[in-house]
Amino acid sequence: MPGSLLAMFVGIAIGTLVTLVIVGAFQLRDRAMRSANPQVPAAVTSMLDVLEDAAVVTDASGIVLAASPSSRWLGVVAGRRLAQEELRGLMKLARQNGRSPAQTMRIRVSRVSSDTRLVIGRAAAISDEFIAIFVRDISEQERVQQMRQDFIQNTSHELKTPVGAIGLLAEALVVAADDPDQVRHFSERVSAEADRLGQLTARIMNLSRLQAADELLDVSDVSVDEIVARTVDAHQTTARAADVELVTGGETGIRVHGDARVLVEALSNLVSNAIAYSPEGSHVGIGVKQDEDIVEIAVTDQGLGISEADQKRIFERFYRADQARSRHTGGTGLGLSIVKHAIQRHGGEVRLWSREGQGSTFTIRLPLGGPLTGAVPLKLDKKSKKQREKKKRAAERAAKRKESSA
């Protein structure tokens, strides 16, 4: 009996020990599996789904567990790994020190593209298992800053050229005071440089007004036929002198809501450029078409065309695709920028098609019957409105005086 009890107790002890070993083994396995495949909390993945910036959560070994949508098209993530060596370096720093300093870097969007983006990256360890990497794209800020710097430099240079020329010509006039022919020659040069300076200043001011958020336009119901006719009439002499024929066509009787003066100036800039860059004996076409609720005014030339690289910057202030030709034609480099902002103020856009050796087509697209949703609202010019009201009151007073005298 005592032997059987001892055997029973030994059996129970061994069974308990085996059970504990088995349970411990399962716990170790579960812990190992959790360590190998940590699960990102649902709240974190939900947050990543709505982030505009690129954000990635990795495990301690660098495997990507969750990522925001922009992290893939920005080139931060490739498969289940961080695509950029610089970002992998930030992750290692965060794993060692808890966080990494912010670092500005330029990264490639993909292995098959040469397109790069300027970004600011940082990383932080959010637990023993997870590391978060944040990447903000600052390419647009860089582009805007570069445009501002270019504008200041180009404005200074463009203003300095005619001002300096006028100063030199004035000195030459003093020296040649006794020579009527020389005086006439230098006087004409001074007048030409003064005109150039005035044109440049006027265009800079015009562009600044168009870019101002509170710029008020004198809006009315405008005939597209009238806009085209006024533009063609203003450029017929220049076109004949350049042996370029202006040809109009397309639909008629279309009207848009906008400032006629601004729209004529925008179209005039396109036609002027087309004439300047067209070979002798060629045509410049101006066509009008209505596409549902959009009105298109296209200006087509048979010039040299614009390279793909230049097309990306052609609407920037002071940018010239052909520097030498622009100096010869007297361009300011502001015309296309004025066109872009003038049409945007009307809720429209300007599109460009061009191929080197075949010519270019600039297409103004305007909403039919009013601004598009999201466009800068057009308002009546306060001064013009006051003048119209003043004239109306004066006419009413004159009519009353006429009635009383009768």
What is the pairing mode between strands 349-355 and 359-367? Answer: antiparallel
Alpha-helix runs per DSSP H in 305-364:
308-311, 323-329, 335-345
One CATH from 3.30.565.10, 3.20.20.70, 3.40.190.170, 3.50.50.60 for 216-371: 3.30.565.10
**pLDDT score at 209:** 63
**pLDDT score at 113:** 58
Query: Residue 264 pLDDT more than 70?
Result: yes
Query: Residue 18 pLDDT more than 60?
Result: no
The two structure tokens encoding residue 148: 């501002």
pTM over 0.85: no
Q: Which residues pair with 118 in a beta bridge?
A: 106
CA-based angle 40:46:47, to the nearest 5?
A: 95
**pLDDT score at 365:** 93
Can you tell me whether residue 85 is helix, strand or coil?
helix
Average pLDDT, the chain: 75
H/E segment holding residue 382? helix 382-405
% pLDDT > 90, the chain: 17
Nearest CA to 384 out of 236, 260, 255 is that of 260
- Dump the DSSP string for 126-190: -SSSEEEEEEEE-HHHHHHHHHHHHHHHHHHHHHHHHHHHHHHHHHHHHHTTT-HHHHHHHHHHH
Report how far residue 280's alpha carbon sits from residue 189's, in angstroms, rounded to the nearest whole number: 27
**pLDDT score at 223:** 93
- Does the domain formed by 42-138 have CATH 3.30.450.20? yes
- Identify the residue with better confidence: 159 or 4: 159
The two structure tokens encoding residue 302: 């048979």
Average confidence (pLDDT) over 226-243: 92
% pLDDT > 70, the chain: 66
Confidence of residue 213 (pLDDT cuts 50, 70, 90): very low
**pLDDT score at 204:** 66
Q: What pLDDT, in 10s, does the model give residues 125-149?
A: 888 888 889 999 888 888 777 767 7
- Identify the residue with better confidence: 358 or 379: 358
Name the DSSP class of 99. Answer: B
- Identify the residue with better confidence: 337 or 376: 337
- Dump the DSSP string for 254-323: -EEEE-HHHHHHHHHHHHHHHHHTSPTT-EEEEEEEEETTEEEEEEE--S----HHHHTTTTSTT--S-H
Q: Which residues pair with 120 in a beta bridge?
A: 104, 136
Query: Residue 118 pLDDT more than 60?
Result: yes
**pLDDT score at 397:** 61
Average confidence (pLDDT) over 101-119: 78
